[in-house]
Amino acid sequence: MRLPSLVVLGIVLGACAHAAPSTSQRSADPDSIGGILAAFERSPIVGVGEHHRSSTCHAFLRELIRDPRFAAAVNDIVVEFATPFHQDILDRFVVDGADVDERELRTVWQDTTQLLVWDAPLYRELLVTVRDVNRTLPRDRRVRVLGGDPPIDWSKVHTPSDYGQFGARAPDYVKVIEREVLAKHRKALLVIGGLHLPRQNPVTTTSGRRLPTVTQLLAERDPNRIFVVWTVIGSSLGLRPRELRSTKTEIGERSFAELMPHNFMLLVNGPDGKPVPKPIAPSDLPPIRELVDALLYLGPDKGEVVAPAEVYRDTVYVAQLRERAAILKEMLGFDVQDIEAEIARAQK
């Protein structure tokens, strides 16, 4: 299974301390959706870690959004798979319920700083879920989906230096949240890869720095601005399926290393000063309670959903992907995605 470009760029570019907000001391909330929505009573932003292309994770997200209590508690959903550059398309499709040409709609998730990851149909399905819910609501109560990724205009990106300004992504999510949510006294669900959410960045970049996460930047003024839910799939850590547990309980004393992907590596400087991968040990990372506020076990891993083959039979899009991948390879020194493998799969 190839590594999603988000994870690769997160390691290299820094994609992914204040005290955490107080939480219930109960070991679990039997209604995990109710527990997440209750967090909005304390914090205007609730961040839920998204497992990219995970059918298990997205089934829960769609259920959460469809719950009748959701639209009563939440005004906006800030997502990683879209940018403000195409916010008008998002609003027309999700809020207005307008008919949007499919090619135009695809630019929402295809014109981001990341390649290939969002081509899985799960991301379109999430937008359709919000659109369907909005059709049942009065105009003034409809939920907006806000693009949080940096507003890249790929028509103006031709060199690594053109792309460089979009590398540090966390500040852009914070700008969108502060401008569109907090300044308007609204509340938002933040759906983003888990490594953007810890209260301090557990990942060391190739430069030796730990760039701030989205949560870290949001919490600079007030740690209670955001409540962080780390989602767990597969290995349960002793949690029951759909159990939401506060990290103020005994589970929070365990090392955050237990939550990291098994194949995840830290990048450290080798003897020659160049970055080399290093497996994560429990002693490398702080306790869970210092980084996230609650754990949500979603159940067994039901696998990833890949992009339909026809996506990579679009010659115009494939040409764009190749051009963008070449820019990133020149900047990073390696391929962030095996685009040719995707194309070959599509041609079978």
Q: What is the pLDDT of residue 27?
A: 40
Tens of pLDDT, residues 171-220: 999 999 999 999 999 999 999 999 999 999 887 554 556 789 999 999 99
Which tokens is 7 given?
Answer: 């994870």
Percent of the chain with pLDDT over 90: 72
Q: Is the model's pLDDT at 157 over the cut of 70?
A: yes
- What are the chain's domains? 5-317 (3.40.50)
CB crowding 290-316: b at 16 or more within 10 Å, else e:
bbbbbbbbbbeeeebbbbeeebbeeee
Q: Is the model's pLDDT at 298 over the cut of 90?
A: yes
Q: What is the pLDDT of residue 240?
A: 93
**Residue range 246-251: mean pLDDT, rounded:** 97
Residue type, 344: A
Q: Is the model's pLDDT at 239 over the cut of 70?
A: yes
Q: What is the pLDDT of residue 209?
A: 66
Q: Is the model's pLDDT at 25 over the cut of 70?
A: no
> Which residues share a beta bridge with 76?
144, 188
Which tokens is 29 given?
Answer: 């909330």
Q: Is 200 helix (H, G, I), strand (E, B) or coil?
A: coil
Q: What is the pLDDT of residue 16?
A: 34
Q: Is 29 left (phi over 0), alpha (psi -120 to 50) or beta?
A: beta
Instruction: Identify whether the C-beta of residue 300 lies closer than 8 Å to the C-beta of residue 56.
Output: yes
Q: How confident is the model at residue 68 (pLDDT cuts 50, 70, 90)?
A: very high
Q: How confident is the model at residue 121 (pLDDT cuts 50, 70, 90)?
A: very high
The DSSP H or E segment spanning 323 is helix 315-332
SS3 content of the chain, % helix, strand, coil (to 5): 45, 15, 40
CA–CA separation, 270 vs 289, rounded Å? 31
Q: Is the model's pLDDT at 23 over the cut of 50?
A: no
Which tokens is 26 given?
Answer: 């109960």
Q: What is the pLDDT of residue 343?
A: 83
Least confident of 63-67, 96-100, 124-128, 264-268: 264-268
Tens of pLDDT, residues 267-288: 666 787 666 777 777 777 899 9
Q: Is the model's pLDDT at 112 over the cut of 60?
A: yes
Strands 243-246 and 188-193 come out as: unpaired
CA–CA separation, 260 vs 78, rounded Å? 23
> Which residues share a beta bridge with 34?
none
Q: What is the pLDDT of residue 307?
A: 94
Q: Which whole-number Å values give the CA distances from 36 to 206, 216, 235, 241, in the listed order?
A: 35, 20, 21, 15
Q: Where is pLDDT greater, at 167 or 44?
A: 44
Q: Is the model's pLDDT at 20 over the cut of 70?
A: no
Q: How confident is the model at residue 4 (pLDDT cuts 50, 70, 90)?
A: very low
Q: What is the pLDDT of residue 185?
A: 98
Q: What is the pLDDT of residue 283?
A: 79
Q: Is the model's pLDDT at 7 over the cut of 50?
A: no
The DSSP H or E segment spanning 64 is helix 55-66
How does DSSP classify residue 159? S
Least confident of 21-30, 80-89, 117-126, 286-295: 21-30
Q: What is the pLDDT of residue 22?
A: 38
Instruction: Identify whether the C-beta of residue 53 lies closer than 8 Å to the C-beta of residue 304.
Output: yes
Q: What is the pLDDT of residue 267?
A: 64
**Residue range 133-153: mean pLDDT, rounded:** 97
Alpha-carbon 61 to chain mean position = 12
Q: What is the pLDDT of residue 275?
A: 65
Q: Which residue has the tokens 């379109």?
A: 124
Instruction: Identify whether the C-beta of residue 336 lies closer than 8 Å to the C-beta of residue 115.
Output: yes
The DSSP H or E segment spanning 79 is strand 76-79
Strands 76-79 and 188-193 come out as: parallel
Q: What is the pLDDT of residue 115?
A: 94
Q: Is the model's pLDDT at 117 over the cut of 60?
A: yes
Least confident of 7-16, 51-60, 85-94: 7-16
Q: Is the model's pLDDT at 245 over the cut of 60?
A: yes
Alpha carbons within 13 A on the beta-carbon side of 197: 30
How does DSSP classify residue 239? P
